[in-house]
Each structure stands twice: as structure tokens, then as C-alpha cells.
A and B are shown apart, each in its own frame.
Chain A
Amino acid sequence: MNQQKKIIENITKKWLFLVSLTTLVILIGIFFLLFFTGIKAFSEISLFEFFFGTNWNPTAYHEPSWGIFSLFIGTLMVTFGSLAFAIPLGIMSAIYLAEIASPKVREIVKPTIEMIAGIPSVVLGLIGLLFLSPLIAKLFGLSSGLTGLTSSIVVGIMVLPTIISISEDVITSLPREFKEASLALGATKWQTIKMVLVPASLSGIVAAIMLGLGRAVGETIVVLMLAGNSRAFPTSIFDSVRPMTANIAIEIKEVIRGGLHYKSLFAIGLVLFLMTFLINFISDLIIDKHVKKYKW
């Protein structure tokens, strides 16, 4: 090979490598900024109060309180509320598209459902605000329709396309032999789905759910608009809640940059970051296991 060509090739390769380090740098950068800003909050706030205190009131005149437990429960409530709605609907749709619908129907319906993922979340929040929340207030006789339930439903709609699309891919990618073997033994289509296809794709479906879980934990604008934002400890799904993401969005613009309140919001951000990191890690493990188990 020509010497000059070799040099060009080497330089290009090195340069591309350096550029591709950007993602690693960003991830590490996010972690360090959150960590070193957030950690400073704990010079004045006790870890125990932060994680287990149910009172979050950093701007109280006499004695500010820094417990994120109520906010954390708010996050869990909206997350699991949305999944309670999206998982059954998502799996049923995935099964329908993968195994029951004709190819023609699937080709039209799947991209249509994926379009829902393209709707900006703020628009879904708007519809939740104008349409869903009055409906929920009326239906359950509440004074305000801005509740954990309202935001759960809309967040559920947001994660639905993710769960459907990935689960459908997983079911369709199962070897055709499984289906044939089951049908040849006299099983009906439904028995085949229930007893063979769903169990075989379970780890993939769980990974899809984990992805939806990550989205739901991190969703901000919809909960900001629909959850009601009360800092009180939520006791039911009809209460107004303030998940951690919404709390950051509400307070970050009003804080003194570099102050204790600012640092504590970064500490909440760090908690969110670690939660999604953990979710990602678990779903990676599940996918790994899924791939290794059958090697198709």
C-alpha cells in the first residue's frame, strides 16, 4: 500500500475514534457534574433526612426540610400507575400484531402506533389538561382532576408505543419452529401463544417493559402539567403528587445558583440518573440472557 494512503487512513481512524469518545465523555460528565454538585448538599443535609424525610420544603422561613421521600413515592406512583395501564395493553397489542393480524393490517397499524411516540409530550400534557383531567374529576367526584392517576394515564400512553413495538419485534423474531411444533401437536393458536410463544419471548418483553419503565421514571413535562404538584405525602392514586422530575423543573428556575437548594436539586437529579442507570443495567442483563438462552 502507498505510504501516504496509509497515513491518511491512520489519521482518519484516530480522528473518528476521538469523536466517538464524545458519548463516553458526556456520560461521565453528566455523572460527575451531578455527583460533585449534588454531594455538596450533604454537608448540610443528612443523608437520612434526604432519603427518608417526607417533607420537602427548602424555602421554609424557619426550618427548611429536605426529605425527598414523598417525591420519590410520587415518582413510583406515576411510574407504576402508567405501567399498570401500558403493560397489559401493550402486550395484548403486540401479540395481536405479531400473531393474529394479517400482514397487511400489521404493516399499517404498527407504524401508526409508533407515530404516537412522535407526538411531543407537551401536546399530550395539554390534552390531559383540557380533556382528561376534567373527565377524571367528574368521574371520581374530585375537586381537582390533577392527580397521580391523570398523569399515570398520559405517561402510560407515552410508553405504550415502546412496549408494543419492541415486544412485537421479540415475538416475531421467535423461530417459526416453535409455532409449527405446537400446532402440529393439536394446540390451538391461542394455546400456542399462551403456552409457547409468550413464555419464550418473556425476557424480551420484560426488557421492553424496562425500557418503558425508564421512560416513565424520567418523564417530566407531562407530570409537571398533570400530577398537581402537591408536596404532601400521597396516600392514593387520586391524590395530587409531585414526582422528582417535576420538582426539579418547578424549582430550578427560582433557586440561587450554587446555593444549597440548587445543590439539593442536583442530588435529586443524581438519584434519577442512578435509577435509570440501574434500570438500563438490568434490562441489558435480561437481553443478554435472552440472547444466550436460545442463540437464534
Chain B
Amino acid sequence: MVKMDEQKKEKIYFTIFKIATFFSVVLLGFILIYIFVKGVSVINLNFLTSMWNHQDITKGGIFPAIIGTLFLAVGVSIFSIPIGISTAIYLNEFAKDNLFNRLIKLSIRNLAGVPSIVYGLFGLAFFVLLLKFGTSLLAASLTLGCMTLPWIITTSEEALKSVPNSFREASLALGATKIETIKMIVLPNSLGGMLTGSILGISRAMGETAPIIMVGATFFMNYLPKSAFDKFMALPYHLFILATQHSSPYSREYALGTALVLIFLVFSLNLGMFVIRYKLRSKKEW
């Protein structure tokens, strides 16, 4: 019978699709377990808290790289969160649908597609050379800041859109101005979503390697950056050099250890933001 054929076919296809889907899940599990199992052996207090030892990598730690990455995250946040959130507020609350505003939206979409290495070139030519910031924490923060800006704007716009229009209308109908409405109604209901979304974007920037190679990261420093104009160590770059260019026989173990720390930082930040978002959302009653 033709019918049995169709149903058999369906079963076969669906099984293949299921396998394809769970392949991704297994892959994620494999990656995390691989990094954990192979990297955990080098993790100890010394590795996490002492300065890098260039002569014998087994003696030193990645403390400056951890700090460098955290400094970088803070630097990126200072630049891109205020600008990103302001832009989102403008676009969602004020902007009319005219050519100019469409141009801004177009530029946001296109910025999101620009390759990170191109941001690196831009940062090098503009921040490092033209503005004479040198290869520095500042130049790197600004470069990655430009890169994260479109992500932050997009996620902030989503948070703003989730505030029902009826709230705004009710407030305006009571004689509040637009600014008052935004300050008293829109922001209290969306700021949490905007901030957590932004931090998710920044956690992605923390793992970027290509642009910071050009604008400020260095493999070896025996002190922590003292000012924004200092160079800095960063976990992704550190791990990149250990994996590809270092001659020590232990470099691979230490690369894996560094990867574990990096993943831990990025994922715990992610997880924290997810939990906060979930709590914020379940508090809402509309």
C-alpha cells in the first residue's frame, strides 16, 4: 500500500532530523567536557592568581590575563552600554519613520555584519594611529565597543518593545510628557532587560581575539595595566599564542587551562544574566 510507504518514509526522515539536532547538543557537551577534562589539571590557585612567568610557564599564572580581560570588559561597557541604550531609546521612542532614521537602522544592521578583523583594522588606523592612543587598553576597549554596539542596540530595542504601548498611552493620557513617561514608565520596565542583554553582548566581546591582536593585547607583561594607555594581557590572545606559537612542551595543557578559565568566565556571566532575566520576566504580570 502506498500509505505505509509514506509513513515509513516519514519515520526515516524524522529520525535523521532528530540525529542532526542532537548532534549539535552532543557537540556542545563534547566541547565543554573536552576543555574541562584536559584543562582542569593545570588549574590551581597559583595559576589563577600569580603573574605570568615567561621562562617557565609551569611556574607562572594567568592572573594578568584574567584582569586584562575583565578591564577590557569594563572598558567596552563604559563606552558601548550608554551609547547603545540611548540609541535604542531614540529609535524606539522618538524616531519617526524617515529616511535619516532608516539610514541609522541600516547602519546598525550592517555594522553587525562587519567582520571582527575589519574592526581591528579600523581600530588600528583610527584609535591607535590617528587619535594616538597607541596600542592600549583604551584603543582595544573602543574598538570592541564599536563592534558590540549593534548587538547592544538590538537587544535593548527588544526590551523596549516588550513594554506594552498601553502603558505609554495611559501615562500620556494622564498629562505626562514623553520624557516623564520614558523616565517613569518605560525605563523602569525595560532597563533590566536592556542591561542584561548588553552584558550578554559584552561577554561575547570578551572572547574576541582577532581585533585585539592589532590594537593592544600583548602576550607578556609582568605588571598589571596601570592606565588606559597601557597594553594588557587578555585570555583569548594568551590562549591563542600558547596554542599556536609557544615552544614550551607544556603549552598545550596551559592553553586548555586558559580556555577553561575563559569559558568559565563567559558562561558564568551568561548564566547569571539568564537567571536575572528570568527573574525579571517572571516578576512581570502583564
Q: Check if A and B associate.
A: yes
- Name the CB-closest residue of A to B182: A12
Contacting residues, chain B, for A12 (C-beta < 8 A): 179
Residues of chain A in range 218-251 having any CB-CB distance to chain B below 8 Å: 218-221, 224-225, 245, 248-249
Contacting residues, chain A, for B20 (C-beta < 8 A): 88-89, 92-93, 96
Q: A27 an interface residue at 8 Å Cβ cutoff?
A: yes
In the complex, the answer to whether A21 meets B240 with C-beta atoms within 8 Å is no
Residues of chain B in range 94-151 having any CB-CB distance to chain A below 8 Å: 94-95, 103-104, 107-111, 113-122, 124-126, 129, 146, 149-150
The interface size of chain B toward A, counting residues with CB under 8 Å, comes to 83
- Name the CB-closest residue of B to A216: B115
Residues of chain B in range 214-257 having any CB-CB distance to chain A below 8 Å: 214, 236-237, 239-240, 243-244, 252, 255-256
Which interface residue of A123, A131, A161 has the most chain B CB atoms within 10 A? A123
In the complex, the answer to whether A272 meets B213 with C-beta atoms within 8 Å is no
Q: A121 an interface residue at 8 Å Cβ cutoff?
A: yes
Contacting residues, chain A, for B208 (C-beta < 8 A): 120-121
Residues of chain A in range 2-54 having any CB-CB distance to chain B below 8 Å: 5-6, 8-9, 12-13, 16-17, 19-24, 26-30, 33-34, 37
Q: B165 an interface residue at 8 Å Cβ cutoff?
A: no
Question: B residues touching A (Cβ–Cβ < 8 Å)?
Answer: 6-7, 9-10, 13-14, 16-18, 20-25, 27-28, 31, 34-35, 38, 82-83, 86-87, 89-91, 94-95, 103-104, 107-111, 113-122, 124-126, 129, 146, 149-150, 153, 177-180, 203-204, 206-210, 213-214, 236-237, 239-240, 243-244, 252, 255-256, 259, 262-263, 266-267, 270
Given pairs A100-B14, A224-B210, A272-B117, 12 additional interface contacts (CB within 8 A): A9-B177, A22-B149, A93-B17, A93-B21, A100-B17, A115-B267, A116-B31, A123-B31, A126-B239, A189-B14, A252-B124, A269-B121
